[in-house]
Chains A and B, each alone.
Chain A
Amino acid sequence: MSERIYMLPFWLRAWHWVNAALILVLIVTGGSLHFAQPDLPLVPFALAARLHDIAGVALAALYGFFVIANIVSGNWWQYVPKPGGFIKRCLVQTRFYCWDIFWGRPHPYPPTLAANFNSLQQIIYWFIMYFFMPILLLTGLMFLVPEWAPQRVLGLDGLLPIAMAHTAVGLIITLFMIGHIYLGTTGLKVTSLFRMMITGWHEH
């Protein structure tokens, strides 16, 4: 029998799954909007626009909750890259994914209560949650309320750079989601990490 520790409080797990569901809706509807084509509608344009607006505002509100809950609970500390061989730890972690994993070797930095994320997760999650997400939310809100966007930029409509940034960051988060979901299968068993995100218990 493997060992178990209770790592993830309920609020964090609840946030995680709602966040994930909203982002999936946003990816599918955002893609339908951007690649709108009469003969190939993934989600019909009008429906996609409405769902995207609702899910977008919900995600913005949820992000507010996430930031506050992280401050209150002290969970934000998990995301901060720690000094003392940070780069080396990232390299070891990368080597694990590129090589050691195929040899069945154990995770080099298994999660503990004090350090939930490995260094690679820390730096990537930090960028996603505290750099890309705010850009996505701000550009999304400007899209929603165009009066907040600049009127004109370089002689073109001011929404152009906003839309480009929004779509580009949307793409980055889409790529992250693909990798993120896949890495979820790299626990002790294929389903271990998904189960942890549901029950809060980590097996190792």
Chain B
Amino acid sequence: MRHLVVVFLILLLGTPSALAQTAGAAPTDPALIEKIRKSNAECLGCHTEAALKAPPREGMDLLKLKTLLVDPAAFERSNHAGMECKTCHGQTANEYPHREGLTAQVSPCGECHAQKSMRIEAQYDASIHAKHLKGKFTCQSCHDPHLYKVAAKLGAPSEIVRQDNAMCFDCHESDLKFATFGDALTPPKRRPDLDDIHEWLPNAKLHWGAVRCVECHTPVSPTKTLALSHEIVGKDKAEKNCVACHTRDTALKTRLYRHMVTEEREKLGFANSIILGDSYVIGATRNAYFDQFAVWSVLLTVAGVMGHGALRVFTAGIRRLLRKS
């Protein structure tokens, strides 16, 4: 599969920068790995926390550099681990002082992910952000290509929730960041407080740690191969029905736990037992044996007292008859 992707990339990409790195992500050839490591070390010689403390050269705009740092360890955990920085940033990005508009010239996602991007873009264009903030809002507003890792590869739902919600929190929890986009609107929009908006959701904070914003703020993915729709919806279409998740046939298994549902799902009689590794979800993770026991014990108790009562009425009647005769 990876080879296919690579071949596809090479065929597809017209840009010389991408062609220069023939092996795409995570190459296996040691010589190539060493070459990429060396190349990336150049950028990381300036664009890291460590470099900021001991700048490799004088006369750099350190205040600006401080806002342009990359975490090499996080990069190596991301989807794009093993890629050369220059593949996206251009072959001359290492030259300092940098040429003008380095950020603007970076390869867009669609350049390498043509097929997925085409489908995603159609959904994304219908989202609140794209409609209201056209031009300003981009894929990178949510996806930091140096950090992001696709859900199916992250595996642990708690990690997925943390990563994907961090995207939204980045703006929706920060007045400053929100304003850089909200100010472009007419009239300018101030950040509404998330807890106020979701005041109807008990334990909102608990939910933020256990489900993603996109669970409720996107419709079901119309494309089977995509994990979720990119159409972020506002209050008129967002999911407000608790029982969408809090029931045996929970939406969580087609969303957050989608990539895990192939595993055993009914361990020890627990419905959706895979969820129990991360969360106890009322209504969704209930136990079939316990439920049957509960229903039967209540029914039998009710039947028992009704039988007892009926027998009392019956014997009282007989006693009355006996007394009369």
Known: A34-B286, A53-B202, A167-B290. A104 touches B316 (CB 8 A): yes
Is A38's CB within 8 Å of the partner chain B?
yes
Question: Closest residue to B297 on the A side, CB-wise?
Answer: A175
Question: CB distance A37 to B290 under 8 Å?
Answer: no
- In Å, the complex CA distance between A33 and B311 comes to 36
A157-B278, A178-B301 known; A41+B243 contact, CB < 8 A: yes
Given known contacts A37-B247, A45-B242, A102 and B312 CB-to-CB distance under 8 angstroms: yes
- B280 adjacent to chain A (CB < 8 Å): yes
Number of A-B contacts (CB under 8 A): 87
Q: How far is the CB of A111 from chain B (nearest CB, A)?
A: 20
Q: Are A174 and B290 in contact (CB under 8 A)?
A: no
Closest to B240 in A: A46
Contact in complex: A46, B312 (CB < 8 Å):
no
Q: In this complex, what residue of A is CB-closest to B302?
A: A178
Smallest CB–CB gap between B224 and chain A, Å? 23
Q: List the B side residues contacting A8 at CB < 8 Å.
A: none
Q: Is B294 engaged at the interface, CB distance under 8 Å to the other chain?
A: yes
Contact with A along B243-284 (1 / 0, CB 8 A): 110111100000000000000000000000000111110110
| Closest chain B CB from A14 CB (angstroms) | 27
A residues near B302, Cβ cutoff 8 Å: 178
Interface residues on A, range: 35 or more
In the assembled complex, A115 has its CB within 8 A of some CB on chain B: no
Q: Contacts A157-B278, A160-B276, A175-B298 hold; do A182 and B246 have CB atoms under 8 A apart?
A: no
Instruction: Please state if B301 and A179 are interface contacts (CB–CB under 8 Å).
Output: yes
Nearest A-chain residue to B267, judged by Cβ:
A156
Residues of chain B within 8 A of A49, CB atoms compared: 202, 242
Interface positions, chain A 85-112, Cβ under 8 Å from B, are: 97, 101-104
Nearest-CB distance from A186 to chain B (Å)? 8
Q: Name the contact of B298 in the complex, choosing from A53, A103, A178 (C-beta under 8 A).
A: A178
Query: Given the known A-B contacts A104-B319, A178-B302, A179-B301, are A36 and B276 also in contact in the complex, defined by CB atoms under 8 Å?
Result: no
CA distance A71 to B247 in the complex (A): 43
Interface residues of B (CB under 8 A from A): 200, 202-203, 206, 241-244, 246-249, 276-280, 282-283, 285-287, 290-291, 294, 297-298, 301-302, 305, 308-309, 311-312, 315-316, 319
List the 3 shortest-distance A-B pairs measured between CB atoms, nearest first: A36-B283, A159-B280, A182-B305
30 contacts across the A-B interface (CB closer than 8 A): A33-B246, A34-B282, A34-B291, A35-B286, A36-B242, A36-B282, A36-B283, A37-B243, A37-B283, A45-B246, A46-B202, A97-B308, A101-B312, A102-B311, A102-B312, A104-B315, A104-B316, A146-B206, A155-B277, A157-B278, A157-B279, A159-B280, A160-B276, A160-B280, A164-B290, A167-B290, A175-B301, A178-B302, A178-B305, A182-B308
